Amino acid sequence: MSRIVYVLNGPNLNLLGKRQPHIYGHETLADVEADCRKVAGEHGLELRFHQSNREYEIIDWIHEAREVACGIVINPAAFTHTSVAILDALNTFEATVIEVHISNVHKREDFRHHSYVSLRADGVIAGLGTQGYALALRRLAHLLDKPAAK
Ligand code: CA2
């Protein structure tokens, strides 16, 4: 079984740590990637970390992951609430999918309460700040090492 994990980030997350720190905190996306690389290293996972403002690029990475990956951690950002196309792509992926949101979307505007991606995700983390990514990777590693515990 492969130990390649894709961590995918949607639109505007390239601005993390640079705008709206009261909502998304002070860590940049580079900091998040560094955290993820540390956890991946601890668990023998190979990380493919990406961000895009374009829906089709996220879909292309999900298609790539279908061929090689044992899991996807995805923060689809605003596409969470709009993208049937990303849901359709994730539905073609057979291994574990964990959805991450930095903010607690359920405490925010009504339009953030619905997630297309949650219809596919095996787990959802929201409101734990950028730590949610590392926690999602630990969960993936746990499932890989102890699949019966799922
Ligand atoms: O809480 C999350 O992680 C979100 O996925 C972030 C999205 C938002 O549309 C979702 O409802 C919840 C927004 C990402 C925008 O990221 C920014 C970061 C810093 C400054 C501005 C935007």
pLDDT in tens, the chain (150 residues): 899 999 999 999 999 999 888 899 899 999 999 999 999 999 999 999 999 999 999 999 999 999 999 999 999 999 999 999 999 999 999 999 999 999 999 999 999 999 999 999 999 999 999 999 999 999 999 999 987 555
Instruction: Residue 86: name the closest of 69, 105, 77, 111 by CA.
Output: 77
Q: Is 6 a catalytic residue?
A: no
| Residue 24 beta carbon below 6 angstroms from any ligand 1 atom | yes
Rounded to whole angstroms, how far apart are CA atoms 99 and 133? 9
Pairing of strands 71-75, 123-126: unpaired
pLDDT confidence of residue 1: 84
Q: Which fold has domain 4-145?
A: Rossmann fold (3.40.50)
User: Measured between alpha carbons, how far apart are the two ends of the chain, in Å?
Assistant: 16
| Domain parsing of the chain, residue ranges | 4-145
Q: Which of 6, 24, 116, 133 is catalytic?
A: 24
Distance (angstroms) between ligand 1 centre and the Cα of 102 equals 7
The span from the CA of 100 to the CA of 114, in Å, is: 14
